[in-house]
Structure 1
Amino acid sequence: MNIPYVNIKRQYQQEKNNLLHIIDNALKKGSWVGGDEIEKFEKNIAKICNTKYCVALNSGTDALTLALHLLGVRRGDEVITPSNSFIASTAVITHLGAKPVFVDVKNDQSIDENQIEKKITKKTKVIMPVHLTGRMCSMDKIMSISKKYNIPVVEDCAQSIMSKYKKKMSGAWGDVGCFSAHPLKNLNAVGDSGYLTTNRKDIFDKVKSLRSHGMEESRDNVKSFGFVSRMDNLQAAVLNYRLKSLSKIIKIRRRNVEIYLKNLDLKKFFFPIEKKNEFNTYHTFVIQVSNRDELKKYLKKNGVETAIHYPMPIHLQDASKKFGYNKAFLPNTVSQSKRILTLPVNQYLNKKEILYICSLINKFYS
């Protein structure tokens, strides 16, 4: 078999006729930057996330940047966050002149909320948990810390649209939730896109202005110098179409994980089983194994493409050398980076393919 890790080509083949019709309609309207599809998308997301507001942006990275900026993060400040994330979550902190203060993670790869308090200083401006793999962090405890110290929370929800913790949606816990609609996400555009959610009208109003040069009402009225961070109307049209099948996609991905767990020898590796108060959307399916690199090569040799999220923690990247961290720092994060392996879980897999992957893994460890 030849089993890709993701299957964007298959997605296009299935959606082609509808997508081309949607794209044609969006372009014929003549609103290529702003437009009614954007407003429709924002209302759809706010309803899904159960928040008052949503703002459509050009990437999840810009969502994080604008959120931190509007919560007052400036040069010399500190932002508490994990190191086992995509590079963007830390990059936005450094671009604002602030320092990332890293916290180690639990066995399920989520930030260890019990280690957050001891990292708080007078310079701490924001706590930024990352809902990695579609599994949400322990947001009730994190929000208690936020309230105790009066420190706002920005949720990095890039991988967690429609995930829940204690029946509350991702993006509805903190002051701001920041999402990506990159082509690899469960809800994906046909290029870079993102959005943020909030219940704070002050943030909503400022982001809507800042995303488009700071212009308000007309091109001649600029109250503050902004950015070019808006979502294109075309991407919004595609996302509105794909939103209709998002629940089904998540259901299939959850089913795929169930097939894996029923047919893999669970004694041979670690996977954090979903708890009663969680609803995981499985943007990725990450197991922790011994001999990870050898297994990855073995699967590739037998036609199965895998990935690693992420092979090098951010604090050990060359870009982080100025912070002076070493491999003894964040022991759980470093240890997991050597054992994690992301298996295919996309909605285009069939049961036969998943059973084939399971048989290979079981055979490798037998």
Structure 2
Amino acid sequence: MSWLPDDIDDDDDKYADYEARNRPNPKGNRARTKTRPEHLDAVTGRVLTVDRGRYAVLVNAGDPDEHEAIASRASELRKQPVVTGDLVDLVGDTSGDDGTLSRIVRIQERKTLLRRSADDSDEVERIIVANADQMLIVVAAANPEPRPRLVDRYLVAAFDAGITPILCITKTDLVDPAPFLANFAGLDIAVVESAENEWPIERLTALMSGHSTVAVGHSGVGKSTLVNALVPEANRAIGRVNAVTGRGRHTSSSTVSLRIGDGWIIDTPGVRSFGLGHVNPDNILRSFTDLAAIAADCPRGCTHLPDAPDCAIIERVGAGELGEIGRLRLDSLQRLLTALA
């Protein structure tokens, strides 16, 4: 059946190709292709901070002409988060001059990813920083009160990511930190203590030399104050602890990477919770290399928790084979696994 009007003859040459006409592209655009340009002229940059879809990127890091450029994210990366610490490839105007905007077209392979979830039941991960190899966990000895279980969660996230933790205790002039530090006696991690306005700058700078260190901590513990002491030009916002609730205020609202000597410190906003829904428990045990070797003799599916039957680690620690340090390390392992569970 023809759809032509009744007064038009199907055999009329005038309308012979009417039904087979080619409609032009109304937008005049070329057909889409999945082939993307290789961007062989791209330059490498380090993402310093992220602000509402714009990225401050350090170009030519370490060279005399290093400078910051502002970039947006290419459309092909819209489903891939670009975070502070990322090494990226840039195209476009990378001069950094006022009013210029370059474009991030690739994210280079990441060495580490520090992640957290909204809560322990949420397996959707939020990437905090990329390529950090150290975590500076900042805790106040008092005001606000230290939270060992929150520190446990930071440690879990660090071990899961393959990041070396460092513990920094502030406000030691108010309270002796020894009872709190006893919670972590079984862990082989560096501990730095500081009184108010007496920051151990030289030691911290030495620990961070040649490393990319992400600073984390509960709101109000003095993390941003510490960052300002280490990098005076940082001018990170600081706040005070609420005298009624004992809670710190959220002051730093963004994650920013700052140079310290030949290393980097990445300041993050203070948090009151740290979800671990994305963490694989096996990564925690692997961080305890001595206990992981013994775990090879455990039954399949062993949890290594106090009620685990025939756990080789528990049996050897109970027999005194690993001494007091073994007992402390097992206690730390079980506490971290419990925090994850």
Larger Rg: 2
Q: Which protein is richer in strand relative to its size?
A: 2
For the criterion TM > 0.5, the same-fold answer is no
Q: Which has the higher contact order (CA 8 A, sep 6+)?
A: 1
Structure in which a larger fraction of residues adopt helix: 1
| TM-score between the two structures when normalised by the length of structure 1 | 0.24
